[in-house]
Amino acid sequence: MRVDIVSIFPEYFAPLDLSLIGKARANGTLRLAVHDLRAWTHDVHRTVDDTPYGGGPGMVMRPEPWGEALEALAPAEPAPDGTIRDRAASEAAVPPRLLVPSPAGVRFTQAMAHELAAEPHLLFACGRYEGIDQRVLDHAATRMRVTEVSLGDYVLFGGEVAVLVILEAVTRLLPGVLGNAGSLDEESHAHGLLEAPMYTKPATWRGHEVPEVLRSGDHGRIARWRRDEALLRTAARRPDMLAALPPESLDKRDRAA
Ligand code: 6GU
Protein backbone atom coordinates (compact mmCIF):
# COMPACT_ATOMS: atom_id res chain seq x y z
CA MET A 1 0.00 0.00 0.00
CA ARG A 2 1.16 3.51 -0.84
CA VAL A 3 0.47 6.29 1.71
CA ASP A 4 1.19 10.01 1.37
CA ILE A 5 0.71 12.44 4.25
CA VAL A 6 0.67 16.23 3.88
CA SER A 7 1.12 18.32 7.03
CA ILE A 8 2.74 21.53 8.26
CA PHE A 9 4.29 19.40 11.05
CA PRO A 10 6.08 16.49 9.33
CA GLU A 11 7.96 15.86 12.62
CA TYR A 12 4.74 14.45 14.11
CA PHE A 13 5.28 11.34 12.00
CA ALA A 14 8.71 10.33 13.36
CA PRO A 15 7.14 7.40 15.33
CA LEU A 16 6.19 5.75 12.02
CA ASP A 17 9.79 4.45 11.88
CA LEU A 18 9.15 2.35 15.02
CA SER A 19 7.75 -1.06 15.83
CA LEU A 20 5.51 -2.95 13.42
CA ILE A 21 4.72 0.08 11.25
CA GLY A 22 8.46 0.71 10.87
CA LYS A 23 8.91 -2.94 9.93
CA ALA A 24 6.09 -2.76 7.35
CA ARG A 25 7.86 0.26 5.84
CA ALA A 26 11.26 -1.42 5.86
CA ASN A 27 9.98 -4.53 4.06
CA GLY A 28 7.95 -2.57 1.49
CA THR A 29 4.44 -3.58 2.67
CA LEU A 30 3.86 0.11 3.42
CA ARG A 31 5.33 2.73 1.07
CA LEU A 32 4.91 5.87 3.17
CA ALA A 33 6.00 9.44 2.41
CA VAL A 34 5.45 12.53 4.57
CA HIS A 35 5.31 15.92 2.83
CA ASP A 36 5.58 19.45 4.22
CA LEU A 37 2.66 21.53 2.96
CA ARG A 38 4.93 24.61 2.99
CA ALA A 39 6.86 23.09 0.07
CA TRP A 40 3.88 24.26 -2.04
CA THR A 41 3.91 27.87 -0.81
CA HIS A 42 5.63 30.61 -2.86
CA ASP A 43 5.76 33.66 -0.56
CA VAL A 44 8.72 34.47 1.70
CA HIS A 45 6.66 33.78 4.84
CA ARG A 46 5.47 30.41 3.45
CA THR A 47 1.91 31.34 4.48
CA VAL A 48 -0.66 28.56 4.78
CA ASP A 49 -3.54 30.27 6.63
CA ASP A 50 -5.74 33.35 6.65
CA THR A 51 -8.78 34.77 8.49
CA PRO A 52 -12.18 33.15 7.87
CA TYR A 53 -14.77 34.69 5.56
CA GLY A 54 -17.88 35.51 7.57
CA GLY A 55 -15.81 36.19 10.67
CA GLY A 56 -15.20 34.11 13.76
CA PRO A 57 -12.18 33.06 15.77
CA GLY A 58 -9.10 31.29 14.47
CA MET A 59 -7.60 30.84 11.03
CA VAL A 60 -8.45 28.73 7.98
CA MET A 61 -5.95 27.00 5.71
CA ARG A 62 -5.74 28.77 2.34
CA PRO A 63 -6.63 26.71 -0.73
CA GLU A 64 -3.62 27.45 -2.99
CA PRO A 65 -0.90 25.32 -1.31
CA TRP A 66 -3.36 22.45 -0.80
CA GLY A 67 -4.43 22.59 -4.46
CA GLU A 68 -0.82 22.27 -5.60
CA ALA A 69 -0.02 19.55 -3.07
CA LEU A 70 -2.97 17.41 -4.14
CA GLU A 71 -2.12 17.92 -7.83
CA ALA A 72 1.45 16.78 -7.15
CA LEU A 73 0.49 13.70 -5.13
CA ALA A 74 -2.69 12.58 -6.92
CA PRO A 75 -1.84 11.68 -10.50
CA ALA A 76 -3.15 13.66 -13.46
CA GLU A 77 -6.54 12.71 -14.84
CA PRO A 78 -6.63 10.06 -17.56
CA ALA A 79 -7.15 11.38 -21.10
CA PRO A 80 -10.82 12.42 -21.62
CA ASP A 81 -11.24 9.77 -24.35
CA GLY A 82 -10.02 7.12 -21.90
CA THR A 83 -6.94 6.38 -24.02
CA ILE A 84 -4.32 4.43 -22.12
CA ARG A 85 -0.95 5.91 -23.01
CA ASP A 86 1.16 3.18 -21.49
CA ARG A 87 0.76 0.56 -18.81
CA ALA A 88 2.80 2.29 -16.10
CA ALA A 89 0.93 5.56 -16.68
CA SER A 90 -2.45 3.85 -16.54
CA GLU A 91 -1.61 2.19 -13.21
CA ALA A 92 -0.38 5.49 -11.80
CA ALA A 93 -3.56 7.14 -13.08
CA VAL A 94 -5.74 5.45 -10.43
CA PRO A 95 -6.45 8.34 -8.07
CA PRO A 96 -5.81 7.85 -4.34
CA ARG A 97 -8.48 7.85 -1.66
CA LEU A 98 -8.22 11.27 0.05
CA LEU A 99 -8.77 11.26 3.81
CA VAL A 100 -9.17 14.51 5.70
CA PRO A 101 -9.17 14.18 9.51
CA SER A 102 -11.73 16.50 11.06
CA PRO A 103 -13.96 16.52 14.13
CA ALA A 104 -16.76 17.21 11.59
CA GLY A 105 -16.06 13.98 9.69
CA VAL A 106 -17.75 10.58 9.65
CA ARG A 107 -16.73 8.35 12.51
CA PHE A 108 -13.63 6.16 12.00
CA THR A 109 -14.39 2.50 12.83
CA GLN A 110 -12.80 -0.93 12.51
CA ALA A 111 -15.04 -1.47 9.46
CA MET A 112 -13.53 1.63 7.83
CA ALA A 113 -10.04 0.40 8.75
CA HIS A 114 -10.78 -2.81 6.78
CA GLU A 115 -12.11 -0.77 3.86
CA LEU A 116 -8.98 1.43 3.81
CA ALA A 117 -6.66 -1.57 4.10
CA ALA A 118 -7.99 -2.73 0.71
CA GLU A 119 -7.03 0.55 -1.04
CA PRO A 120 -3.81 0.71 -3.09
CA HIS A 121 -3.14 4.38 -2.28
CA LEU A 122 -4.20 6.63 0.62
CA LEU A 123 -3.56 10.36 0.76
CA PHE A 124 -3.99 12.14 4.11
CA ALA A 125 -4.44 15.93 4.26
CA CYS A 126 -3.82 17.20 7.79
CA GLY A 127 -5.61 20.42 8.61
CA ARG A 128 -4.71 22.72 11.50
CA TYR A 129 -6.46 25.75 12.96
CA GLU A 130 -10.16 25.84 12.06
CA GLY A 131 -9.62 23.52 9.10
CA ILE A 132 -8.98 23.65 5.34
CA ASP A 133 -10.91 25.91 2.92
CA GLN A 134 -13.87 23.73 1.87
CA ARG A 135 -13.22 24.36 -1.84
CA VAL A 136 -10.05 22.23 -1.63
CA LEU A 137 -12.17 19.22 -0.70
CA ASP A 138 -14.95 20.06 -3.17
CA HIS A 139 -12.44 20.41 -6.01
CA ALA A 140 -10.60 17.21 -5.04
CA ALA A 141 -13.94 15.38 -5.03
CA THR A 142 -14.28 16.04 -8.78
CA ARG A 143 -11.41 13.63 -9.43
CA MET A 144 -11.04 11.35 -6.39
CA ARG A 145 -12.96 9.87 -3.47
CA VAL A 146 -12.79 12.24 -0.48
CA THR A 147 -13.70 11.27 3.09
CA GLU A 148 -13.64 13.60 6.08
CA VAL A 149 -13.05 11.33 9.04
CA SER A 150 -13.31 11.86 12.81
CA LEU A 151 -11.90 9.74 15.62
CA GLY A 152 -14.67 10.58 18.06
CA ASP A 153 -16.57 13.30 19.82
CA TYR A 154 -13.76 15.51 21.04
CA VAL A 155 -11.52 18.13 19.43
CA LEU A 156 -7.79 17.86 18.67
CA PHE A 157 -5.47 20.66 17.55
CA GLY A 158 -5.07 19.11 14.12
CA GLY A 159 -5.23 15.98 12.01
CA GLU A 160 -1.71 14.66 12.66
CA VAL A 161 -2.45 12.49 15.69
CA ALA A 162 -5.62 11.22 14.01
CA VAL A 163 -3.53 10.09 11.01
CA LEU A 164 -1.20 8.17 13.35
CA VAL A 165 -4.23 6.41 14.83
CA ILE A 166 -5.88 5.63 11.48
CA LEU A 167 -2.63 4.43 9.92
CA GLU A 168 -1.91 2.10 12.83
CA ALA A 169 -5.40 0.59 12.65
CA VAL A 170 -5.02 0.11 8.87
CA THR A 171 -1.41 -1.13 8.76
CA ARG A 172 -2.01 -3.99 11.18
CA LEU A 173 -4.69 -5.30 8.78
CA LEU A 174 -2.29 -5.46 5.80
CA PRO A 175 -1.33 -9.00 4.80
CA GLY A 176 1.81 -10.20 6.57
CA VAL A 177 2.04 -7.40 9.16
CA LEU A 178 0.71 -9.40 12.12
CA GLY A 179 2.61 -12.61 12.86
CA ASN A 180 -0.52 -14.33 14.15
CA ALA A 181 -3.45 -13.61 11.83
CA GLY A 182 -5.74 -15.34 14.37
CA SER A 183 -5.41 -12.32 16.65
CA LEU A 184 -7.33 -10.29 14.03
CA ASP A 185 -10.28 -12.63 14.43
CA GLU A 186 -10.38 -12.75 18.24
CA GLU A 187 -9.93 -9.08 19.02
CA SER A 188 -12.36 -6.48 20.34
CA HIS A 189 -14.68 -5.18 17.59
CA ALA A 190 -14.05 -8.16 15.31
CA HIS A 191 -17.50 -9.61 16.10
CA GLY A 192 -19.24 -6.52 17.42
CA LEU A 193 -18.35 -7.33 21.04
CA LEU A 194 -15.57 -6.21 23.35
CA GLU A 195 -12.94 -8.83 24.08
CA ALA A 196 -12.97 -10.89 27.31
CA PRO A 197 -10.22 -10.18 29.88
CA MET A 198 -6.88 -11.97 29.38
CA TYR A 199 -4.44 -13.46 31.92
CA THR A 200 -0.93 -14.92 31.96
CA LYS A 201 1.36 -16.47 34.58
CA PRO A 202 1.63 -16.54 37.58
CA ALA A 203 -1.70 -18.19 38.48
CA THR A 204 -1.83 -16.17 41.74
CA TRP A 205 -0.51 -12.62 41.92
CA ARG A 206 -0.87 -10.33 44.97
CA GLY A 207 -3.80 -12.41 46.14
CA HIS A 208 -5.64 -12.23 42.79
CA GLU A 209 -6.34 -15.56 41.08
CA VAL A 210 -6.62 -16.34 37.37
CA PRO A 211 -10.21 -17.63 36.87
CA GLU A 212 -10.26 -21.41 37.41
CA VAL A 213 -11.98 -22.11 34.07
CA LEU A 214 -8.99 -20.76 32.11
CA ARG A 215 -6.71 -23.30 33.84
CA SER A 216 -9.15 -26.20 33.35
CA GLY A 217 -8.01 -27.18 29.86
CA ASP A 218 -11.72 -27.59 28.90
CA HIS A 219 -11.85 -25.69 25.60
CA GLY A 220 -15.65 -25.78 25.43
CA ARG A 221 -16.03 -24.24 28.89
CA ILE A 222 -13.29 -21.69 28.15
CA ALA A 223 -14.98 -20.56 24.93
CA ARG A 224 -18.35 -20.26 26.72
CA TRP A 225 -16.76 -18.28 29.60
CA ARG A 226 -15.02 -15.89 27.21
CA ARG A 227 -18.23 -15.33 25.28
CA ASP A 228 -20.13 -14.60 28.53
CA GLU A 229 -17.45 -12.18 29.75
CA ALA A 230 -17.46 -10.42 26.36
CA LEU A 231 -21.24 -10.03 26.54
CA LEU A 232 -21.19 -8.75 30.13
CA ARG A 233 -18.40 -6.27 29.40
CA THR A 234 -20.08 -5.02 26.27
CA ALA A 235 -23.40 -4.60 28.11
CA ALA A 236 -21.69 -2.64 30.91
CA ARG A 237 -19.34 -0.48 28.83
CA ARG A 238 -20.86 -0.26 25.37
CA PRO A 239 -24.61 -0.83 25.47
CA ASP A 240 -24.73 0.86 22.03
CA MET A 241 -22.69 -2.02 20.56
CA LEU A 242 -24.90 -4.64 22.17
CA ALA A 243 -28.04 -2.94 20.84
CA ALA A 244 -26.53 -2.87 17.32
CA LEU A 245 -25.91 -6.66 17.21
CA PRO A 246 -28.14 -8.55 14.80
CA PRO A 247 -30.51 -10.59 17.06
CA GLU A 248 -29.66 -13.82 15.19
CA SER A 249 -26.01 -13.46 16.26
CA LEU A 250 -27.07 -14.16 19.88
CA ASP A 251 -27.82 -17.75 20.87
CA LYS A 252 -29.98 -18.96 23.75
CA ARG A 253 -27.06 -19.20 26.18
CA ASP A 254 -26.00 -15.63 25.26
CA ARG A 255 -29.42 -14.37 26.29
CA ALA A 256 -29.08 -16.16 29.63
CA ALA A 257 -25.77 -14.34 30.19
CL1 6GU B 1 -9.84 13.43 12.92
N2 6GU B 1 -9.33 15.84 13.87
C3 6GU B 1 -9.42 16.80 14.81
N4 6GU B 1 -8.81 17.95 14.60
N5 6GU B 1 -10.10 16.65 15.93
C6 6GU B 1 -10.69 15.46 16.11
C7 6GU B 1 -10.63 14.43 15.18
C8 6GU B 1 -9.94 14.66 14.06
N9 6GU B 1 -11.34 13.39 15.65
C10 6GU B 1 -11.80 13.76 16.82
N11 6GU B 1 -11.43 15.02 17.10
What angle in degrees, to the nearest 10, is found between the helix axes of 19-26 and 160-171?
70
> Known binding site for S-adenosyl-L-methionine: residues?
127, 151-156
What angle in degrees, to the nearest 10, is found between the helix axes of 160-171 and 110-117?
70
Q: What is the pLDDT of residues 125-174, one digit of tens each?
A: 999 879 999 999 999 999 999 999 999 999 999 999 999 999 999 999 99
Q: What is the pLDDT of residues 32-62, one digit of tens each?
A: 999 999 999 999 999 999 999 999 999 999 9
Expressed in angstroms and rounded, the spacing between residue 212 Cα and the centre of ligand 1 is 43
Residue 86, φ and ψ in degrees, nearest 5: -155, 165
Q: What is the pLDDT of residues 186-218, one digit of tens each?
A: 788 878 999 999 999 999 999 999 999 999 999
In this structure, which CATH number among 3.30.565.10, 3.40.1280.10, 3.40.50.2300, 3.30.160.270 belongs to the domain 2-171?
3.40.1280.10
Expressed in angstroms and rounded, the spacing between residue 105 Cα and the centre of ligand 1 is 8
**Alpha-carbon gap, residue 254 to 224, rounded angstroms:** 9
User: For residue 154, which atom of ligand 1 is closest to its CA?
Assistant: 11
Q: What is the pLDDT of residues 3-43, one digit of tens each?
A: 999 999 999 999 999 999 999 999 999 999 999 999 999 99
Q: Where are the domains of the chain?
A: 2-171, 188-256
CB-CB neighbours of 8 under 10 Å: 20
* Fold entry, domain 188-256: Trp Operon Repressor; Chain A (1.10.1270)
User: Which ipTM score applies to this complex?
Assistant: 0.96
Q: In the 8-state DSSP scheme, what is residue 76? A: P
Containing 147, the helix (H) or strand (E) segment is strand 146-150
Residue 103 in contact with ligand 1 by CB distance below 6 A: yes
